[in-house]
Amino acid sequence: MIGGLFIYNHKGEVLISRVYRDDIGYVFQDVVGWRNAVDAFRVNVIHARQQVRSPVTNIARTSFFHVKRSNIWLAAVTKQNVNAAMVFEFLYKMCDVMTAYFGKISEENIKNNFVLIYELLDEILDFGYPQNSETGALKTFITQQGIKGQTKEEQSQITSQVTGQIGWRREGIKYRRNELFLDVLESVNLLMSPQGQVLSAHVSGRVVMKSYLSGMPECKFGMNDKIVIDKQGKGGASDDAGKSGKQSIAIDDCTFHQCVRLSKFDSERSISFIPPDGEYELMRYRTTKDIILPFRVIPLVREVGRTKLEVKVVIKSNFKPSLLAQKIEVRIPTPLNTSGVQVICMKGKAKYKASENAIVWKIKRMAGMKESQISAEIELLPTNDKKKWARPPISMNFEVPFAPSGLKVRYLKVFESKLNYSDHDVIKWVRYIGRSGIYETRC
């Protein structure tokens, strides 16, 4: 299991160090024995000249797992054959918990909260074994204000929540207004050949829920999942099935927050759960079939002699004219030996950014079924570098108000039998946002 956990700043100075197991180098006579491990990581990874070649490093039979958040390094150290996936999941979770407590993970924030971090580390990692790390539960008893004046009931409520089956929610939550917000957030990924052939495309989506519900509500979530719709269709009229079948989507795979009863999903494909309070991610999913690609990029690159490139890029929006895409940005890479660029675009603003080796073309808004174009002349410095320019792909960013996968929320039912509010009293909001993931066209 995890033998120790260290947090470093970008210089490699230790901000937090927590040793769980002696085997990582804590020697009897040498009080600061774990320093060896700490130094080994600094020298071999943080100060390494080369780019990091692996997130897992083995130095002198000691394994280091690291993740980086802005310029902070989190490293877990072990000498055993640990579950590597678990260690990384834990490090991410650790980041989530810290963010939930004090916001951005930065050197300053970590120094400001080091006592809190030690307290958290003591709680969520015992002898290197991750323990309940749900922020909702942790916040009930790790507060930095001291837990004074707790009654016995309160104490046992805390412990039963931390260890209980519903570790993510506490009893006795009350809201005057029962309200919930559902966000369907999708990122659409595309890799297209210069000729416009789709090399790979997929949508990875998340359903994020903000719930402000009283008591311990039982929820049921429904969407236009092809398997469910087809199953229901079988029971009803045949033409009905055909109609709904068109609107349903095939989900390749989905994963759920730990509140969802997986065995029930496996057997009935129904999504039922008792939600955590506040914001959390209910599910993630992935689709590859019938994806609506909101934009099409048509590149044209011509080399005019050795010192000039002509680039023309057309983008076409491909969705209902009534909808508006926002924050559109097209990034056209330029060779390293670019000396000057002249750009003409019909819409938006375009600029050559020498530091990024790219022309960045920004358009604030664009309606569906429209087309826009940019053309640029790139002057090159003559070089005797034989190596050809790698021509990185043209990438795109955007945001659209629909789900490119075609996912639709059909219902979210709330049942709370003990309190007297019904499904109808709950105010529900649904929003769809489609964003670009890695949306690239090769040129």
Partner 1 sequence: MTDSKYFTTTKKGEIFELKAELNSDKKEKKKEAVKKVIASMTVGKDVSALFPDVVNCMQTDNLELKKLVYLYLMNYAKSQPDMAIMAVNTFVKDCEDPNPLIRALAVRTMGCIRVDKITEYLCEPLRKCLKDEDPYVRKTAAVCVAKLHDINAQLVEDQGFLDTLKDLISDSNPMVVANAVAALSEIAESHPNSNLLDLNPQTINKLLTALNECTEWGQIFILDCLANYTPRDDRESQSICERVTPRLSHANSAVVLSAVKVLMKFMEMLPKDLDYYGTLLKKLAPPLVTLLSAEPELQYVALRNINLIVQRRPEILKHEMKVFFVKYNDPIYVKLEKLDIMIRLASQANIAQVLAELKEYATEVDVDFVRKAVRAIGRCAIKVEQSAERCVSTLLDLIQTKVNYVVQEAIVVIKDIFRKYPNKYESVIATLCENLDSLDEPEARAAMIWIVGEYAERIDNADELLESFLEGFHDESTQVQLQLLTAIVKLFLKKPTETQELVQQVLSLATQDSDNPDLRDRGYIYWRLLSTDPVAAKEVVLAEKPLISEETDLIEPTLLEELICHIGTLASVYHKPPSAFVEGSRGVQHKRLPGSAGSGESVESPDTGSAAGVSDAPPAVIPSQGDLLGDLLNLDLAPPATTTGPPPPTSSGMQMGAMDLLGGGLDSLMGDESEPPPIPLRTDTPQSPQLPHQSPSPPDYSPTELGGDLGGSPAMGAGFGAPPAAMPASFNAPVSGGLDDLFDLGGGVGMPSGAYSPPKSIWLPAMKAKGLEISGTFARRAGVVQMEMTLTNKAMSVMTDFAIQFNRNSFGLAPAGPLQVLTPVSPNQSIEVALPLNTVGPVMKMEPLNNLQVAVKNNIDVFYFSCQYPISMLFVEDGKMERQVFLATWKDIPNDNESQFQIKDCHLSSDAASSKLQGSNIFTIAKRTVDGQDMLYQSTKLTNGIWVLAELRVQAGNPNYTVSLKCRAPEVAQCVFQSYEAVLKN
Nearest to partner 1 of 63, 372 (CB atom): 63
Nearest to partner 1 of 162, 324 (CB atom): 162
Q: Does 71 bind partner 1 (CB under 8 A)?
A: no
Nearest to partner 1 of 110, 241 (CB atom): 110
Q: Does 417 bind partner 1 (CB under 8 A)?
A: no
Query: Could you tell me the smallest distance in angstroms from the CB atom of residue 161 to partner 1?
Result: 9
Q: Does 1 bind partner 1 (CB under 8 A)?
A: yes
- Per-residue x/- track, 191-210, partner 1 (CB under 8 A): x-x-----xx-x-x------
Q: Are 350 and 357 in contact (CB under 8 A)?
A: no
Q: Are 251 and 288 in contact (CB under 8 A)?
A: no
Considering only residues 303 to 342 of the shown chain, the ones binding partner 1 according to CB under 8 A are none
Q: Which of 44, 96, 119, 335 is close enough to bind partner 1 by CB under 8 A?
A: 119
Residue 139 labeled ligand binder = no
Distance CA 41, CA 213 (A): 46
Considering only residues 77 to 96 of the shown chain, the ones binding partner 1 according to CB under 8 A are 78-86, 88-92
Name which of 283, 285, 281 is nearest 202 in CA terms: 285
Q: Under DSSP, is residue 267 helix (H, G, I), strand (E, B) or coil? A: helix
Nearest to partner 1 of 15, 293 (CB atom): 15
Q: Does 150 bind partner 1 (CB under 8 A)?
A: yes
- Give the number of residues in contact with partner 1, rule: CB under 8 A: 110
Q: Which of 12, 164, 335, 348 is close enough to bind partner 1 by CB under 8 A?
A: 164
For the CA atoms of the chain, what is the radius of gyration? 27
Nearest to partner 1 of 138, 426 (CB atom): 138
159 CA to centre of own chain: 31
Q: Classify residue 197 as exposed, middle or buried by CB count within 10 Å of its CB (0-12, 13-18, 19+).
A: exposed
Q: Does 54 bind partner 1 (CB under 8 A)?
A: yes
Q: Which of 112, 247, 339, 342 is close enough to bind partner 1 by CB under 8 A?
A: 112
Distance CA 373, CA 395 (A): 15
Query: Could you tell me the smallest distance in angstroms from the CB atom of residue 57 to partner 1?
Result: 11
Residue 68 labeled ligand binder = no
Residue 418 labeled ligand binder = no
339: region left, alpha or beta (phi > 0 left; psi from -120 to 50 alpha) = alpha
Q: Under DSSP, is residue 19 helix (H, G, I), strand (E, B) or coil? A: strand
Considering only residues 220 to 279 of the shown chain, the ones binding partner 1 according to CB under 8 A are 252-258, 261-263, 265-266
Contacts of 262 by beta carbon, 8 Å cutoff, 6+ apart? 256
- The strand ranges marked E within 129-178 are 129-130
Considering only residues 18 to 37 of the shown chain, the ones binding partner 1 according to CB under 8 A are 19-23, 26, 28-29, 31-32, 35
Distance CA 279, CA 273 (A): 15
Longest dimension (CA), the chain: 82
Q: What is the residue-wise DSSP string for 331-376?
A: EEE--TTEEEEEEEESSSEEEEEGGGTEEEEEEEEEETT-EEEEEE
Distance CA 100, CA 37 (A): 29
Considering only residues 377 to 396 of the shown chain, the ones binding partner 1 according to CB under 8 A are 386-388, 390-393, 395
Nearest to partner 1 of 319, 393 (CB atom): 393
Nearest to partner 1 of 237, 390 (CB atom): 390
Q: Which of 11, 43, 47, 52 is close enough to bind partner 1 by CB under 8 A?
A: 52
Considering only residues 174 to 193 of the shown chain, the ones binding partner 1 according to CB under 8 A are 191, 193
The stretch near partner 1 (CB under 8 A) out of 45-53, 228-236, 366-374, 408-416 is 45-53
Q: Does 59 bind partner 1 (CB under 8 A)?
A: no
Residue 289 labeled ligand binder = no
Tokens coding 276: 């955590």
DSSP state of 140: H
Query: Could you tell me the smallest distance in angstroms from the CB atom of residue 413 to partner 1?
Result: 21
Q: What angle do CA 81, 84, 86 make, to 5 degrees?
A: 120
Residue 351 labeled ligand binder = yes
Residues annotated within a binding site: 349, 351, 353, 362, 364
